[in-house]
Chains A and B, each alone.
Chain A
Amino acid sequence: MIGMDSCRGRRIALAILLLAGFTAVLGRLVHLQVLQAAELSVKADRQHQKAVTVEGNRGSIYDRRGKVLAMNMEVPSVFGVPASLDNPSGVARDLARVLHVRADEIEKKLRQERSFVWIARKVDPEQGRRLERLSLDGIGTVMEGRRFYPKGPLLSHVLGFAGMDGQGLEGIERRYDPYLRGEKRQIVLQRDAFGRTVFPKGLTEQGPSAGHSVLLTIDEVIQYIAEKELDDAVSATRAKGGVVIVMEPKTGAVLAMAMTPRFDPNSVRGLSADRWRNRVVTDAFEPGSTMKIFLAAAALDERAMKPDSMIYAENGKMVVAGTVIHDHEKAKWITFAQAIQRSSNVAAAKTAMVLGEDRLFRYLKAFGFGERTEIDLPGEAAGLVKEPHEWGRRTLASIAMGQEIGVTALQLATAVSAVANGGWLMRPYVVSEVRDGHGQLVAQVAPQVRRRPIAAETAQVLGTMLEGVVTVGTGSKAAVAGYRVAGKTGTAQKIDPETGAYSSALSVASFVGYVPADDPRLTIVAIIDEPQGEAWGGTVAAPVFRRVAEQALPYLGVSSQEPMKLALAERAGIGMVP
């Protein structure tokens, strides 16, 4: 009996023990799962989840035909963890061989008392692969978006460039940065015990949207033609630099904006701001005789002059406010049309005097001088047109010759386009469309009329006079075989910075015009800064206009205006039906 009792007692004791154990486990379970549930859940999430900020790819920039001009590509950036390095100098030497950076500079970074240091950001993919093969302890790579400009220096001043962190710093990159920038979004990733990413929390996490793409009005081929012809002219005349603008006069769309010297936006380190400044929009200069176009426009529109109005040209010499105005071609009585064709300064000064200060000023402002064109590029200058009350005794005559007035090359192009298109001053633009990452249209730019400075009849009459500049006047070297050309030469003396007076050696040679004259498709402005030797607009800049036009017109499919005659048909005796 005693044995049975003791056995039962042990069973009861065991049951109590087990019950107590289970109660303890259950209690702990309730404590963890119920009482501390919220707190522990947060803790677990913190350990299993990883929140990372990801930025979508920067949008691309295309020309008007969809050719890539700027795009992003992911490339490796190299970092170091100084605490995990046993031999910083050895690692620095290995890195220096691959990255082509001085070893002592890398070693200095690796000896810093920091948990993380950048060694080189956005290196070439091949350098990244070589580093991976080296597999150095304490050195790693992460992928970052790097901006590539596959065409190199082509259109560099217009495109601008983006900084190391993907922010637009110049040109289109800067002006359209809010569109081009990718969306920044924080996403939460689930990690397993080994730290590997399993999947985004909730399986619904979307990555950040890529930036919008921008489609330009610029045509890559016309841009290349403009740059090539400009480079050739600048090199042949040993000039300081130059500018060529090609614009659609009817819309204000810019087809090419060339400058020299250029820069490669892929490597801007060490370049000064002066090198990447878009001088077409930022720099104002005294235009010289090209300003006579707008003087003539005002005189015709105000009916102060007619093409056959006679002007006495004073045999090429006239004194105004104590200074002598010269013509390069002596003449006595000439028509107003001849005055423009020969670029007579005396006749221009007299025309300005007939018009008077207020009327001339009003037309200059109407053509957009002295105010920004509102082109979609950063840093635009307004130029300088003084108010009539600030004008001196010679100012009227000076402005008639393109002195005492500061204009940008873009203002010239826009104003000449107004003559070409029948009198409408258009807002110039370089971006035609913005599309999102899926190709959906976000914004579209339509041609925009700013105002009408002259009547259509005035533009037509002036156009005929400007054709005369090319057929019988100073701009004969701008003539394009098979097309009617209208335009005007300009040769402006520059102010010598040392003497403060007009220099006889420094000048700006220019030609501005449009083609075909009867149905203008292209406005072309060619400006050569400080050419050496024979530095006339008609000899230096007019040929640039011609060469650009004779390549761009067939490329755009603009028919020649001469009767077609096929050499083969003649030779084969087929002949053409008369």
Chain B
Amino acid sequence: MRLLAALGVIGMLLLFVWERVDIVRVGYRIEQLKVQKIELQREQDGLRVKVSALTAPDRIAKAATEKLGMIPPQPGQVVMVNAADSGPVASDRSSAVHVAKNERFWRKP
């Protein structure tokens, strides 16, 4: 009986010690993950800045005109076809279809 009680006490002590050690271990792991999260957040922020800079309108326009030889559509080359009425609310939505002259995409062979 005494032996069992002693073993029980020792078991409880071991459980207590294990719990304390585990808390510290989990604490270190949490900190490690937090550092990892911060690093990933920094990387994501860096990529967002990069994407935003790369999509700047002046850069796109420069690449389109100088690298790809594109030119802005001249007046009359783009006409708008509204699906609904042309009231201010309706035209505010993207209901308008951009139709470029000489484009054949709406004609099936």
Question: Which residues of A come within 8 Å of B, CB atoms?
Answer: 67-69, 71-74, 125, 143, 148, 150-152, 154, 190, 192, 196-199, 220-221, 224, 228, 250, 480-482, 519, 521, 550-551, 554, 557-560, 564, 566-568
Contact = CB atoms under 8 A, between A and B. Distances in A.
A150 B53 contact: yes
B55 A199 contact: no
B77 to A, nearest CB: 9
Interface in B62-109: 72-73, 75-76, 78-82, 86, 88, 91-96, 98-99, 101-104
A71 B99 contact: no
Contacts of B14: none
A150 B59 CA distance: 11
Chain A at the B interface: mostly helix, strand, loop or mixed?
mixed
Given A143-B42, A198-B27, 18 more contacts: A69-B52, A74-B38, A150-B56, A154-B57, A154-B58, A190-B27, A224-B58, A228-B61, A481-B76, A482-B76, A554-B73, A554-B78, A554-B98, A557-B93, A558-B91, A560-B80, A566-B79, A566-B101
B104 A568 contact: yes
Nearest to A572: B107
Contacts of B26: 199
Contacts of A557: 80, 91-96
Contact of B42 (A73, A151, A154, A482): A73
A560 B48 CA distance: 37
A224 B57 CA distance: 6
Contacts of B58: 152, 154, 224, 228
A570 to B, nearest CB: 10
5 contacts: A150-B49, A150-B56, A152-B53, A196-B28, A559-B91
Nearest to A151: B56
A567 B101 contact: yes
Contacts of B24: 192, 198
Contacts of A190: 27
Contact of A198 (B31, B53, B104): B31
Contacts of B81: 559, 564
A125 B46 contact: yes
A196 B27 CA distance: 11
Interchain residue pairs A-B with the least CB separation, the first 9:
A150-B52, A224-B57, A199-B27, A557-B96, A150-B53, A68-B52, A198-B27, A559-B80, A73-B45
Contacts of B92: 557
A71 B80 contact: no
Contact of B46 (A73, A199, A221): A73
Contacts of B80: 554, 557-560
B56 to A, nearest CB: 5
B52 A67 contact: yes
A559 B101 contact: no
Contacts of A154: 56-58
Contacts of B82: 559
A69 B103 CA distance: 35
A521 B88 contact: yes
B45 A71 contact: yes
A250 B93 CA distance: 16
